[in-house]
Amino acid sequence: MNAKGKVAIITGGSGGIGFQVSKKLGKDGYSVFLMDIADDAKGAEKVKELAADGITAEYFSVDLTKEDGVTSTINKIGAKQGKIDLLVNCAGGLGGRSRFEEMTTEFFRFVMALNLDSAFFTSRAAIPFLKKGKNASIINFTSNAAWNGGGPGAGVYGASKGAVQSLTRSLAKDLAEYGIRVNAVSPGTIDTPFHAQIKATKPEVFASWANNIMLGRIGKPEEVASVISFLASDDASFMTAETIQIGGGQALGI
């Protein structure tokens, strides 16, 4: 894929999957702009690692649940580059666990902000610059929880990711007239630092998760990044409003 001269913003770009997405897109030829809540020191380390691979990168420390910071950062990137070709909304998370009966309003609002509001804020701010891009697109991250409602205590996470899935279709309808495509990916269990604690303390439990995956193994961040690369490319130019499962058949259960 030749994406030389193209501009990509990756939220959550310093994290496990997000960083691999940043690296893959950078190798595809994009200039990558990472937006994440990690501090500037960690961001500088990630940029240095990308630069060692010949990738043009810049890092912005942003709380993606805060509208003003998100909007000003994307406006800064878009104005400087003159366009945005790709927005990858990778940022998000579980936020903790709580059953609905005991759930506080603050927790509910936080998880929705982390997963849904963040994608809305970034997309809204990026649209004027995506209109200036070539084969421009937005790629959101949903989850198996959007389909199955989430595990114990993760119901609001499932609800927020279900909303992201619906937002993907709504944005695709809204932006089709401008030639801007909007798709989503739904990763299954992926071997990232998110699972580092249980992998280190209960490796047998971590390994057992593969038993619920049709292909019999845990996924790799690079395998998610490859799908993102495809969705952003001209090879996927007739794809919009789609959600691609990347879980080795995990969504079907066995």
Catalytic site residue from 157, 173, 199, 220: 157
Q: How far apart are CA 94 and CA 68, in angstroms?
A: 23
Angle at 187 between CA 196 and CA 95, to 5 degrees: 55
Q: How far apart are CA 125 and CA 116, in angstroms?
A: 14
CB 168 within 8 A of CB 243: yes
Nearest to 242 by CA among 94, 126, 142, 116: 142
Annotated catalytic residue 157? yes
Annotated catalytic residue 30? no
Listing DSSP states for 132-187 in one string gives TSSS-EEEEE--THHHH--STT-HHHHHHHHHHHHHHHHHHHHHGGGT-EEEEEEE
Q: How far apart are CA 13 and CA 35, in angstroms?
A: 6
Catalytic site residue from 131, 134, 161, 199: 161
Q: If DSSP codes are grouped into helix, strand and coil, which group holds residue 215?
A: coil
Q: How far apart are CA 96 and CA 93, in angstroms?
A: 8
Catalytic residues, by residue number, are 157, 161
